[in-house]
Structure 1
Amino acid sequence: MAHKFRVAVIVVVFAAGSTVNAGAVGAQPSSTSITAAGITAAVQPDGTYEVRAQQPAAWTFTGSVGAKVTDNRTRTGQDAIGSYREIDFGYTDTVARTASIRVYQNTAAVLFGSTTGAASPNVPASGVPFPSLKAPALPHQESFQDRAFSTYKFGGAPAPDSPLLSFDDQANGFLFSAADNFPVAKLGVGAGNTLSEGIAASVTTLPAGFTHQSILALGKGIGTTYGTWGSALMALGGKHRVPNDANTTLNKLGYWTDNGAEYYYKYDENLGYTGTLLAAAKDFADHGIPLGYMQLDSWWYPKGSSNTWQGNGNLRGGEYTYRAAPDLFQQGLAAFRDQVGLPLITHARWVDPASPYHGQYTMSGNVVTDPRFWEGTMRYLADSGVVGYEQDWLSDGAQAQYNLSDPGAFVDNMAQSAAAKGIDLQYCMPLPWNYLQSTKYQNLQTTRVSNDRFERGKWDEYLFDSHLAGSLGEQPWSDVFMSKETDNLLLSLLSGGMVGVGDKIGDLSTTNLGQTVRGDGVLVKPDTAIVPLDSTYLAIAKDAQAPMVAATHSDHNGLRDAYVFAYARNGGSQSIGFSPAELGVNGAAYVYDYFSGKGRLVPAGGRFTGTVSDGSYYVVSPVGRSGIAFLGDAGKFVSAGSKRISQVSDQGRVETTVQFGAGERSVQLHGYAPAAPKATATSGTAGPVSYDAATRLFTVSVTPGPGQKAQVQLG
C-alpha cells in the first residue's frame, strides 16, 4: 500500500461576509499573516503561530513549533475543499520540516501542515506534535469512547482516535480531530487546554515525507459545527454524501438474523435454516409487506477450530473459511439467493487462529490484508447475489496491528475490492477511527451506531452516535428489533437509513409496518438522520438526566416538515420544549402529536412545551400562505417523507404531488386549516374533505392517476 506523506490540520469557522485578501508569493523574513472568511492566521519568526476568529465568538488558538522559522512565504491555490491562501514556512525539530497554514475563501477553513524532511522519531525533540493548539477552555465537551460502537460521552479525557467537541452555553463550539492516518492518530489534551494531534506510540519512527492531517471546526451551533467538520473530512477523503435511497438496502425494508432477531443461530427444525428464512420472507409477502433484502449473520459461515456453522470456543470463534456453511446451504449461497428472491447482506468476523487463511494470505493480527483474499471474497459474494458486506467486531477481533500500513491495508483492500464488484459496506462495532476512515470510501454507506438488539436502553447512544456517523456521510443503523415495538421501529425509521426487523414467522405487526413503508416495501422516511437538538446537548451536558429531544426533517421547495422524538431520561416524566424555528420551520407552525391525534398552533417565534415519559412523537408543519399546515399522509409515521409526498408548495394554496407504490389504491391526506379547505385533483382523484371545526383538522382521501401519482390542490 502506497502512502503519501504530509501533515495537515483544518480549522473551519462560520462568518458572514467572508473575503479573501490577495497575497504575494515570496520569502517573508518577518511575521506573516493571511485572512479569509473572517479568520486571521499568523506565523512569527520565533515559531509561534495563531488562528484568530471573530465568529462564532472571539476565540484565539495559539501554538509554537519550538524553533525559529525559515523561508516564510505565502501562496494561493485550490484543493478539494476550495480556494485558499496559505503561509508556508520551514523549521527544524529533530529533522528539518516544512509547515503550512491554509485559510479557505468559501468554506471558511484553515489547514495546518507539516512535512518531515527525513526519517524522525515519532516524538519530536520539542515533545509536542504539530499542531499543538492552546484552545479556549469552553465549559462542555463531548467525545467518543474506544469501545464497541464508540459510545458518546460528555466530559473526561477523549479516546486518542476520537474527535473532541467543545462548546459554550450558547452552543458555539469547535471540533478537533484527526483528518488522516485515522487508525494511529493520537488526540492529546494537555495543560492549559492544549489540543494536539500526533501519532500513537505504537509507531516509533516516522518516515521522510510523512503525512498526518487534523481538523478543527468552529461553528455557531453544534449541528452546524458537526456538519462543516464532516463535509471538510469528506472533501479531503473524496467522498460524497450517500443518498438515503441509494440502493435496495437503504430504500426498502429488510429482514435481519443478527443477535436479537428470532432466527439468530436458531431455526424451525422442521424447515431447516434456509427453509425457515424462505418461510419468513413469504410471511411478509403474504401480509402485503414485501421485503427488499435479507441479512445473514455470522451463523452462515463455518467458524472456530470445529469448522462448523455453530463454531466453538470464545464467542463461537472467528471465520474458518468465508464461504456458506455446506450443512446449511447444501446447494450454495447463490442457490439460496435465487430461492428467496432477495438481495443479501452478509456478516463477517475476524479470521480464526485455526483458519487455513493464515497460511494462504498475508495477515496482520486476525485480519487479512492481502488483496488476493479480498478480490476472491468479493467475487464470490457478488456471484452469490450479495449486495452488502457487514464487517463486524471492529473493536475486538477484527483489528490489524496498529502501525502505519496494516490497518489501512485491511480496510482499503476490503473497500476497493467490494467497490469493484458493486458491493456496499457496513461497519459494525466501530471504533472512533472507523467512523472517520469511512470518508475515504464511497461504498461505505452504513454504520451500526448502537449495541446489539435495539431497545430503550440504547436510544441515547443511537441518537448521539448518529450525529457522528451522519456528519461523515454514513447512514446510521440502529440494529434489529421486532415490528411490534412501535417506538423502536419509529426511531430506527427516523435515522433516514436502513430499517430491518427480525420477527418470528406469524408475529409481524402489519399495522406498524404499514406506517413505515409503502405497499411496495419502499421506506417513507426523513431526509436526514434524527439527532439531538443543540438545546439537548446543552441540557444533558449540564444535567445527565435531562430529557431527550431529537429531530429530523423533510424539505420541499423551501417548506420544512420536522419530526421530533422526545422522552424522559429520569425514569419518570419530564417537561420538554422546543421552538419550530430551532427545527428550521419558519413562521407559524402546527405541532401535531402523532399518537394522540391532537395538535397545537404555535405562532411565529413561539415555543411548544409538553410532558413526556417513555416516548412522544410530534410532526411539526409550517403554516403556509394559505393558512394551512399540510401534515401529509395520515397513515405514515414520516407523513411528509419524499417517497410519499414528492412535492409541496404553498403560494396561497397548497399544491402537492402524492407518490403511490405499486398496487396502492388510496392515501388519506390530513392537515390543519382555519376553515374547511376545498380539495381538487389535477391528476388522480380527491374525495370529499372531512373537517372537524373543533380541532380544525381535515382529512381527504386521494387516488392515483398516471404514473402512480396524484396531484392535489388544497385551499
Structure 2
Amino acid sequence: MPGVFVQEGWDTYIIGNSKYKFKIDVLKDSGEFLIHFDGKTWLSSGYLLHKAGKWYSNMEKSHNPYVNATYIADNFEVEQSEDRNGEFTSLHFILKDRDSRQSIVAYEIRVYHNLPVVLFSIVHLTEVEKPQALYEHTIIDAPLYLKIKQNKDMKAFTYTSHAWIKPIFLDLQKALSETIMASSFFSIFDRTGRTLIFSAFDNLGNQLYTITQKDNDFYVICGLEGLIEKIPVGSRITEVLIFGSEFEQAIENWGTFLRTHYNKILDENLDLINKLSYWTDCGSYYYYRTIPEKDYSDTLIALSEDLKRKGINVRLVELGPWWYSKDPSAGAKAYEPVPEIKLNLNELAQEIGFLILQMSWFNLENEYTKRFSFIKEKIAFPRDYEIYDYLGGRFREYGATAVVHDHLTQIRSSMRHHLMDNFSILSNWLKSMAEHFRRYMIRIILSMPDTYHLFSSLQTNNIVASRTGEDYGTSASQSYSLWQNIYTSQLALALGLFPHFGVFFTLHPTYNGEPTNENGNLGRINPEVDALARVLTFSIVGFGDAICTTNV
C-alpha cells in the first residue's frame, strides 16, 4: 500500500496518500470532511440531497446556509481492492436520517495507490421519488458539496454548461453577482500553481455543477441536474478529484484517467485531422450559395479542379445543412439530397473526395415515421435507435466518411423531458448512434454540444471531434473566437475529442467585392493566425474560400 494510509482518531478518520501529499479528514459523527493538499487545507465538503422542496445534508447547518435537515454517519469500514484503474483503499460509511436513523446512502471515498486520484461515490439505499426541483440547474443529488473560503491566493476555473461552451475564470477574493451554472468540471488553484480538479465520473449525461456564494464562502454543488424524476435504489453517482502541482499537470492527469477508464482513444491517424478539408458550413463562402447559374454539383467540382490546379489535394469535403430536405425550422424531413444537387452524391464524391455530411434534428412529420418509432415533444426524437443503422448505410452509399451532428443543444432543450428526466438516456443515445455509424466506418463530429455531450462521448471511440466555438464570421471578434476555441479545445482534447474551430478563409474574405458574411466582421480576421491556431491545437483544418481565392 505504497503511500496510502488510513488512521482512526477519537473523532475522525483520516485517509490519504503521502506519495501525492494529500489527505482527507472525515468527521465520524457526520461524514463531513476536509481536503488537504501539500500541507494546506483547501476546502470542506459533504453530501447534499434535494427532496420535496427541502435540502438534506451531512454538513452542519452552521456550515451550510441552505440545509433544512442533517444526516449522521455510521458503520465506517476500510476496504482494499483494485479496479481497471489500479489498486485502491476505500473508506466506506453510511449516512442516516438523524431522527429516524433510516439509512439513506452508502458513501465511499476511494484513494488510488499509484495515482493522484480520489473517487467520491454515493449509492442510494432508498428510492427517492419525485426529487425534481423543476429547474435543470438546481442540483438535486450531490456526492460533493464543496465549501471554499474566500481567499486572495486562490482562483478557480470552469466552463459554461451549455453551447456555445466558454471558459469561466473566478477570483475567489471577489464576490459573485449571481449563481453560476457550470459544466461538471471545476478546478481550483493557488499562486504556486497547485491545482485540484473535480468532475463528473459517471452519469455523464446528467451532471452539472452550480457555484454560489454566501457571506465569505463559495459553495460548489456537484451532481445530478434537477429534472430527474426518480432516483432508484442502487443508483450510483460518482465524482472524481485529481491533484497536480500545476494546472497543466492536473488537467493532463484528469484527462488521462478518464480516457483510460472509458478506453477512449485519441486516434492521431484520422484523415479528418491529418488532411485538409473543404467546408460549406455556416461561415463558408458557399453556405447556401453556388457559382452563378450553376448547381452545387457543378460548383463543388469546379472548386475541386481549381484547388488541384494550385497543387492543393483536398479529398474531404463537408456538405452543410443545405444538402438535405428540411422544414423552415431546420428539422430534417429526410436525409436525401435536395434537387439542387444534380449528381448522385456517390458520383459527386468520386469527383471531389469523401463527404462529411451535416445532420440535425428530425422534423415532427419526417418521412421516417412510417418505418421507425419516434417520441415527439417540440421535435421528433428516435425511440428506435435502429434508424441510425439505416442512415449509416445510406450515408455510406452517398460516399460519406463522417457526419457533423449539429444543434445538439437545441435537441437536448427541445426533448428535455425525455432526455433529462431519466438516467443515461442522453448518453445512451449518443453511444448507440455512434456504434451504429461505426459499422459503416462513419465517424461523428459534435456541433453545438453541451458539456453533457462532451462528457458522454467518452463512452465511444466513434465520436472523434467537436466544435469548440461559435460560427466563423459572427459578430464576435477574431481574438474572442480564438480565446473561446483554444480554452474549450483543452477540455475537448482531455475528453478524447479533437477540436474543430469551424470553417475559415485563407485570404481576405470577400469575393468580387461581395461580402461573404452579413455581419461584416470578417474583414478584421487574420487568416494566418486562424490557420496556425488550428494546427497548434490539433484541430480539424477546414477552409471555405470562394473559387480562385485560396491563398497558397
8 Å CA contact 1:149, 1:451 repeated in 2? yes
Deviations 1:620-666 (A, max 9, x none): xxxxxxxxxxxxxxxxxxxxxxxxxxxxxxxxxxxxxxxxxxxxxxx
Matching residue of 1:339: 351
Partner of 2:159: 144
Q: How does 1:318-467 map to 2 (within 5 A)?
A: 318-325=331-338, 327-340=339-352, 342-358=353-369, 360-363=372-375, 365=377, 366=379, 367-397=381-411, 399=413, 400-401=415-416, 402-404=420-422, 405-453=424-472, 455-467=478-490
Number of residue pairs aligned between Structure 1 and Structure 2? 477
Pairing 1:294–2:317 present: yes
Indicate which of 140, 146, 157 corresponds to 1:133: 146
Alignment of 1:488 onto 2:503: no
CA contact (8 A) 2:127 2:232 kept: yes
Looking at structure 1, the residues matched to 395 and 9 of structure 2 have their Cα atoms a distance apart, in angstroms, of 58
Measure the CA separation in 1 of the matches of 2:375 and 2:252: 36
Q: 1:54 to 1:213 in 2, by over 3 A?
A: closer
Q: 1:57 to 1:346 in 2, by over 3 A?
A: farther
Per the alignment, residue 81 of structure 2 pairs with 77
CA contact (8 A) 2:6 2:16 kept: no
Letter in 1 for 2:391: T
Equivalent pair of 2:204/2:456 in contact (CA under 8 Å): yes
Equivalence map 1:537-556=2 (5 Å):
none
Secondary structure in structure 2 of the residue aligned to 1:48 = coil
Aligned residues of 1:450 and 1:461 also touching (Cα < 8 A):
yes
Q: Secondary structure at the match of 1:322?
A: strand
1:320 match: secondary structure? strand
Q: 1:33 aligns with which of 6, 10, 14?
A: 14
- Write the distance in 1 (CA, Å) between the matches of 2:105 and 2:45: 19
Q: Would you say the 8 A contact 1:161–1:183 is kept in 2?
A: no
Match of 1:469 among 492, 504, 517: 492
- How far apart are the structure 2 equivalents of 1:329 and 1:272? 6
Q: CA deviation at 1:29?
A: 11
- Is contact 2:354-2:400 (8 Å) kept? yes
C-alpha distance in 2, partners of 1:142/1:233?
A: 19
Aligned to 1:52: 35
**1:143-292, aligned counterparts within 5 Å?**
143-155=158-170, 157-190=179-212, 191=214, 192-240=217-265, 242-244=266-268, 246-292=269-315
**In structure 1, what residue type is equivalent to 2:46?**
G
Relative to structure 1, the CA distance from residue 422 to residue 72 in structure 2 (aligned partners, 3 Å threshold; closer, same or farther) is same
Aligned with 2:226: secondary structure?
Answer: coil
Q: Matches of 1:92 and 1:357 in 2, distance apart?
A: 50
Gapped regions of structure 2 (runs ≥ 5): 48-57, 59-69, 133-139, 171-175, 508-526
- Once residues 458 and 52 of structure 1 are traced to their aligned partners in structure 2, the CA distance between those partners, rounded to angstroms, is 37
Q: Is the 8 A contact 1:143 1:158 kept in 2?
A: no
Distance 2:83 2:489 in 1: 29
Label 1:148 to 1:51 Cα distance change in 2 as closer, same or farther (>3 A). Answer: same
Give yes or no for contact 2:349–2:355 (8 Å, CA) kept in 1. yes
Residue 11 (structure 2) pairs with residue 20 (structure 1) = no
Overall identity of the aligned pairs, in %: 20
Distance 2:285 2:207 in 1: 40
- How far residue 62 of structure 1 moved from its aligned partner, in angstroms, is 3.6
**Which digits, 9 at most, give the CA deviation of each residue in 1:187-244, with x for residues without a partner?**
133543232222222113201111222223332222222222222222333313x133
| Counterparts of 2:156 and 2:366, CA distance in 1 | 44
Local SS of the residue matching 1:259: coil
Q: 1:82 to 1:120 in 2, by over 3 A?
A: same
The change in CA–CA distance for 1:175 and 1:364 in structure 2 (over 3 A counts) is: farther
Q: Deviations over 1:492-539 (max 9, x none)?
A: 2222121011111111111xxxxxxxxxxxxxxxxxxxxxxxxxxxxx
Q: 1:469 to 1:158 in 2, by over 3 A?
A: farther
Call closer, same or farther: CA 1:136–1:222 in 2, change over 3 Å: farther
Question: Does residue 498 in structure 1 map to residue 520 in structure 2?
Answer: no
**Amino acid in the other structure paired with 2:437:** A
Aligned residues of 1:217 and 1:228 also touching (Cα < 8 A)? yes
What's the CA shift string for 1:329-378, capped at 9, x where partnerless? Answer: 455322221232x1211111111223234563233643324211111111
Question: 1:267: Cα distance to partner?
Answer: 0.7
Alpha-carbon distance change, 128 to 275 in structure 1, aligned in 2, over 3 angstroms:
closer
The whole-number CA distance in structure 1 between the counterparts of 2:183 and 2:237 is 13
SS in 2 for 1:69: strand
User: Cα deviations across residues 424-446 of structure 1 (Å, max 9, x unaligned)?
Assistant: 11111111222222222212211
What is the aligned-residue RMSD (CA, Å)? 2.9
Is contact 2:297-2:342 (8 Å) kept?
A: no
Distance, in Å, in 1 between the alignment partners of 2:105 and 2:537 is: 45
SS of structure 2 residue aligned to 1:224? helix
Would you say the 8 A contact 2:326–2:363 is kept in 1?
yes
Q: What's the CA shift string for 1:668-706, capped at 9, x where partnerless?
A: xxxxxxxxxxxxxxxxxxxxxxxxxxxxxxxxxxxxxxx
Higher relative contact order (CA 8 A, sep 6+): 2
Deviations 1:602-622 (A, max 9, x none): xxxxxxxxxxxxxxxxxxxxx
Structure 2 contact 458–495 (Cα < 8 Å) conserved: yes
Q: Residue 118 of structure 1 aligns to a residue in which SS?
A: coil
Q: Which amino acid aligns with 2:384?
A: D
- CA separation of 1:187 and 1:337: change in aligned 2, threshold 3 A: same
Instruction: Give the corresponding residue for 2:515.
Output: none
Please state whether the residue corresponding to 1:346 is helix, strand or coil: strand
Distance 1:488 1:189, change over 3 A: closer
